[in-house]
């Protein structure tokens, strides 16, 4: 099992690689060797989505990302960040979790799934008292806005909580 630092490193490395690939020539369709193909492709179980700022010439939206929260992830992730305080025993949390997994996070947004029961430190830091709370945070982790989406656990409710 990977450590939190390793997974954050993978996401951060993917961000850097994608940023640099915009300036590099396109690689050939055939890898030079099987070893080089393995070194550049994420493992099939990995879910690394692009989380980079678009270049001025590129008007296409950046795909949203839905990840489990790990320490250091906020600082290592560019763009809009939302903490989703999720409890496995909560049916409303499971509804929003399923929608995020099936439809993906909104374009340009990284949603971090935070374990409501285990991360008491984050609940206290952000004043979270109910599961299904979403908290928008800045690059240094400061709280920008929050809302409890228990009554309407949906991506639309998550977006409505934006600052």
- Where do the structural domains in the chain lie, given as residue ranges? 4-160
| 124 token code pair | 């206290």
pLDDT of residue 59: 61
- Nearest residue to 114 (alpha-carbon basis) of 144, 73, 149, 60: 73
Instruction: Give residue-wise pLDDT tens across range 10-25.
Output: 444 444 343 333 333 4
Mean pLDDT, rounded, for 96-124: 96
Instruction: Give residue-wise pLDDT tens across range 33-72.
Output: 444 444 444 444 334 444 444 444 556 678 899 999 999 9
How many whole angstroms separate alpha carbon 75 and alpha carbon 10? 14
β-sheet with 80-86: strand ranges across: 65-68, 109-115, 80-86, 133-137, 143-148
The percent of residues above 90 in pLDDT, for the chain, comes to: 61
How many whole angstroms separate alpha carbon 84 and alpha carbon 25? 38
Please tell me the class of the 4-160 domain. alpha beta
Q: What is the DSSP string of 14-83?
A: HHHHHHHHTTSPPPPSS-SSHHHHHHHSPPTT-------PPPTT--SPPPPEEEE--TTHHHH--SEEEE
pLDDT of residue 62: 83
- Cβ within 8 Å of residue 70, ≥6 positions away: 4, 5, 7, 8
pLDDT of residue 19: 39
Q: Supply the pTM of this predicted model.
A: 0.64
């Amino acid at each position: 099992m990977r450590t939190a630092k390793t997974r954050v490193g993978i996401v951060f490395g993917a961000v850097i690689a994608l940023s640099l690939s915009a300036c590099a020539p396109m690689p050939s369709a055939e890898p030079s060797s099987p070893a080089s193909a393995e070194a550049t492709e994420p493992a099939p179980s990995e879910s690394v989505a692009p989380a980079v700022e678009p270049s001025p010439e590129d008007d296409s939206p950046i795909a949203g990302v839905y990840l489990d929260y790990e320490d250091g992830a906020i600082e290592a992730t560019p763009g809009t960040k939302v903490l989703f305080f999720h409890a496995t025993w909560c049916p409303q949390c499971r509804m929003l979790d399923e929608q995020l997994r099936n439809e993906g996070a909104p374009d340009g947004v990284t949603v971090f799934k935070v374990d409501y029961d285990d991360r008491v430190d984050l609940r206290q830091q952000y004043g979270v008292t109910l599961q299904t709370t979403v908290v928008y945070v800045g690059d240094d982790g400061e709280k920008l806005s929050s809302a409890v989406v228990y009554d309407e656990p949906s991506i639309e409710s998550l977006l409505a909580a934006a600052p």
